């Protein structure tokens, strides 16, 4: 009997954590950061305490109470006795791996808490992006996906309360790559993976790195099938079980630049005649999609009319969107200025996908070096600035030639504006891949204040109206989603034709019941923390 237990991603967008059990073999399908539940309790200045180890995420219901799968360097000896009476408490003897669908944190973040002998299965690009994001960001203890700093319980000097404090060199997780032969990785790629670019200070010790492996060692027969999503490297997974093939879609779409990947996945998954398909449903209520081509046309129109500075706000990890704005920059005689962390990501991508633009040779791309207060900046940042020295632009360069740039900034980069001093009448183009939530609405208010202060016009940016925050009339067409719309998702389900369909990662799973119910596919709605036997 195969059992699927849904610890996250039920009636919510993201936070997927699904346990697949087939006798004594077990896998996790993603192990994501639960944004929605996290926001119920926490905000920027109120966070789970790293010093309390696993206690906070377990006590607040962010992590399932499953003994035997988490890092033992964060477990106090009195931790589990208090959860043994919890309704969904289980004790497992480890799991055979996590099948990671892509590098968005709502799918990957809580891998941070898993035992480090549990391998992570992913595409090569997902593994590399996970590392690049961590190298170049300030990853909290609950977002250390690719490597983590071990902890030790002791009393910090001069204090009385024991805590889990960082101790020793970072440990890298074992990643097993499903879409390429790890033996065929070039020296640059191997060097990137094994290099300690995660040093954040001179006293950091050398890390213990692990080479990437393939799928051979897995207890299950797996298929890793790339799909199109708003971050490169996304894939679906197929797992052969005693009850037949189980297919897990991850996040996908049929309207992006790489839609062919999703179509190929549908064809191959259909050929397996799966017992079950676990399918995302973020945008089931959307009737149609905006394509990347439309984003290009609308962005081009808006930017062509502008004769001052342009800021384009989009998720830079959405490399396809970055390329769309690079093309707009070329076609309007401007240069796209990206931040060093985005340059680092692009350079990382190029190690596995050589068709990614080479910053050094791409006339339309420059790197905006923002202000940092650190006396000894991180090694990755120093490398980017040294390696692309001729490509760096500073605030004064942008100030002196405002009509020559498109700055790839997000809301969180606006504090550079006092240095840049944009002239009134500059343009802010907002091009998101995802629907916004309440927290972003608070940010929208602040964003409008910034734009007003510096005399910007905006395009595509939601404004507050009686019906909530809405993109102004005539300024649509810039928001191509990473997720397929309802009719496309039904097409995915029908073409794959599973016996069972289990919706996840969406707030309206009943859509599938209403649309597919009564057909040859049975739709089963999971409940949070509940188990479906197949």
Q: How far is the CB of 224 from Zn ion (least distance, A)?
A: 17
Taking CA atoms, 284 is separated from 252, 267, 297, 484, 501, in Å, by: 12, 21, 26, 8, 14
State the Cα–Cα distance between residues 344 and 15, nearest whole angstrom. Answer: 27
Nearer to Zn ion, 149 or 283 (CB): 283
Whether residue 235 contacts residue 225, with contact meaning beta carbons closer than 8 Å, is answered with: yes
Q: Between vectors from CA 174 to CA 172 and to CA 176, what angle results, nearest 5°?
A: 145
> Pattern of binders to Zn ion over 151-190, x per CB under 5 A?
----------------------------------------
Q: How far is the CB of 42 from Zn ion (least distance, A)?
A: 21
Which residue stretch of 123-131, 207-215, 251-259, 316-324 sits at the interface with Zn ion (rule: CB under 5 A)?
251-259
Instruction: Determine contact, residues 7/21, Cβ cutoff 8 Å.
Output: no
CB-based contact 14:104 (threshold 8 Å): yes
DSSP states along 347-402:
HHHHHH-TTS--TTT-TTEEEE------SS--HHHHHHHHHTGGGEE-HHHHHHTG
Q: Based on CB atoms, which residue is closest to Zn ion, 251 or 318?
A: 251
Minimum CB–partner distance for residue 260 and Zn ion (Å): 19
Nearer CB in complex with Zn ion: 33/456: 33
Give the total of residues touching Zn ion (CB under 5 A).
2
Q: Which residues, 204 to 243, sit near Zn ion by CB under 5 A?
A: none
Interacting residues of 405 by C-beta distance below 8 A, sequence separation 6+: 309, 310, 334, 335, 336, 337, 366, 393, 398
Judge contact between 287 and 487, C-beta under 8 A: yes
Q: Pick the closer one to Zn ion by CB: 251 or 313.
A: 251
CB of 282 vs Zn ion, minimal distance in Å: 8
Q: How far is the CB of 433 from Zn ion (least distance, A)?
A: 9
Residues 491-520 close enough to bind Zn ion by CB under 5 A? none
347 binds Zn ion (CB under 5 A): no
Residues 27 to 66 in contact with Zn ion, rule: CB under 5 A: none
Closer residue to Zn ion (CB): 38 or 104:
104
Q: How far is the CB of 232 from Zn ion (least distance, A)?
A: 12
Q: How far is the CB of 44 from Zn ion (least distance, A)?
A: 22
Q: Which helix (H) or strand (E) holds 430?
A: strand 427-430
Choose the stretch contacting Zn ion; rule: CB under 5 A; options: 247-255, 362-370, 396-404, 514-522. 247-255
Cβ nearer to Zn ion, comparing 251 with 488: 251
Q: Least distance to Zn ion from the beta carbon of 468, Å?
A: 24
Angle subtended by helix axes 124-136 and 187-194, to nearest 10: 50
Which residue, 15 or 340, is less far from Zn ion as judged by CB?
A: 15
485 vs 483: CA distance, rounded Å = 7
**Of the two residues 104 and 347, which places its CB atom closer to Zn ion in the complex?**
104
Q: CA 394 to CA 409: how far, in whole Å?
A: 14
Instruction: Determine, following the binding rule CB under 5 A, whether residue 251 of this chain makes contact with Zn ion.
Output: yes
All residues at 6 or more sequence positions from 82 whose CB lies less than 8 Å from its CB, including other chains = none
Comparison of 100 and 276: residue with beta carbon closer to Zn ion? 100
The CB-of-106 to Zn ion minimum distance in angstroms stands at 6
**What is the smallest separation between the CB atom of 130 and Zn ion, expressed in angstroms?**
13
Task: Provide the minimum distance between the beta carbon of 482 and Zn ion in the complex, in angstroms, as a whole number.
Answer: 6
Pairing outcome for strands 171-172 and 147-148: antiparallel
The reply to whether 255 sits near Zn ion by the rule CB under 5 A is no
* Closer CB to Zn ion, 107 or 334, in the complex: 107
Site string for Zn ion, 441-460 (x = CB under 5 A): --------------------
Which 3 state secondary structure label does DSSP give 420?
helix
User: In terms of CB distance, is 228 or 251 closer to Zn ion?
Assistant: 251
Q: Draw the binding track, 93-112, toward Zn ion (x: CB under 5 A; -: no contact).
A: -----------x--------
CA distance 469 to 463: 5
- Largest Cα separation within the chain, whole Å, is 68
By the criterion CB under 5 A, which residues form the site for Zn ion? Answer: 104, 251
């Amino acid at each position: 009997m195969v059992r699927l237990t849904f610890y996250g991603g039920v009636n919510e967008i993201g936070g997927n954590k699904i346990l697949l059990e087939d006798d004594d073999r077990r896998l996790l399908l993603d192990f994501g950061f639960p944004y929605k539940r996290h926001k119920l309790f926490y905000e920027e200045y109120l966070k789970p305490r790293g010093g309390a180890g696993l206690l906070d995420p377990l006590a607040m219901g962010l992590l399932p109470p499953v003994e035997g799968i988490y890092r033992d360097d964060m477990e106090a000896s009195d931790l589990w006795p208090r959860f043994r009476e919890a309704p969904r408490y289980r004790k497992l003897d480890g799991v055979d791996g996590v099948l990671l669908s892509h590098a968005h944190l709502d799918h990957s973040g809580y891998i941070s808490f898993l035992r480090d002998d549990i391998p992570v299965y992913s595409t090569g690009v997902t593994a590399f992006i996970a590392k690049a994001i961590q190298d170049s960001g300030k990853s909290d203890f609950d977002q250390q996906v690719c490597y983590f700093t071990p902890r030790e319980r002791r009393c910090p000097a001069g204090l009385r309360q024991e805590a889990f404090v960082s101790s020793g060199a970072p440990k890298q997780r074992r990643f097993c790559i499903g879409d390429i032969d790890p033996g065929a990785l070039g020296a640059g790629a191997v060097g990137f993976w094994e290099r300690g670019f995660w040093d954040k200070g001179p006293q950091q010790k050398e890390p213990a790195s692990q080479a990437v492996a393939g799928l051979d060692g897995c207890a299950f027969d797996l298929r890793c099938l790339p799909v199109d999503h708003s971050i490169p490297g996304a894939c679906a997974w197929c797992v052969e079980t005693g009850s037949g093939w189980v297919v897990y879609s991850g996040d996908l779409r049929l309207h992006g630049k790489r839609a062919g990947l999703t179509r190929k996945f549908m064809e191959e998954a259909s050929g397996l005649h799966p017992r079950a398909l676990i399918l995302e449903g973020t945008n089931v209520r959307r009737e149609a999609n905006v394509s990347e081509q439309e984003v290009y046309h609308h962005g081009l129109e808006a930017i062509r009319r502008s004769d001052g500075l342009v800021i384009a706000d989009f998720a830079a990890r959405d490399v396809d969107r970055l390329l769309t704005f690079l093309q707009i920059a070329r076609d309007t005689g401007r240069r796209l200025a990206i931040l060093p962390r985005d340059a680092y990501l692009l350079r990382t991508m190029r190690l596995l996908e050589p068709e990614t633009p080479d910053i050094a040779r791409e006339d339309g791309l420059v790197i905006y070096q923002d202000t940092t207060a650190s006396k000894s900046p991180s090694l990755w940042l120093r490398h980017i600035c040294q390696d692309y020295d001729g490509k760096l632009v500073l605030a004064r360069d942008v100030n002196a030639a405002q009509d020559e740039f498109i700055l790839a900034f997000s809301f969180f980069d606006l504090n550079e504006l006092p240095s840049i001093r944009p002239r009134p009448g500059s343009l802010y183009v907002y091009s998101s891949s995802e629907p916004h939530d309440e927290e972003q609405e608070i940010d929208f208010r602040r964003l409008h204040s910034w734009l007003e202060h510096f005399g910007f016009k905006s395009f595509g940016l939601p404004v507050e109206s009686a019906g909530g925050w809405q993109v102004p009339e005539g300024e649509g067409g810039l928001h191509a989603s990473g997720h397929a719309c309802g009719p496309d998702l039904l097409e995915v389900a029908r073409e794959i034709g599973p016996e069972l369909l289990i919706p996840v990662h969406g707030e309206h799973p009943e859509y599938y019941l209403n649309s597919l119910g009564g057909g040859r596919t049975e739709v089963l709605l999971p409940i949070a923390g509940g188990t479906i036997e197949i």
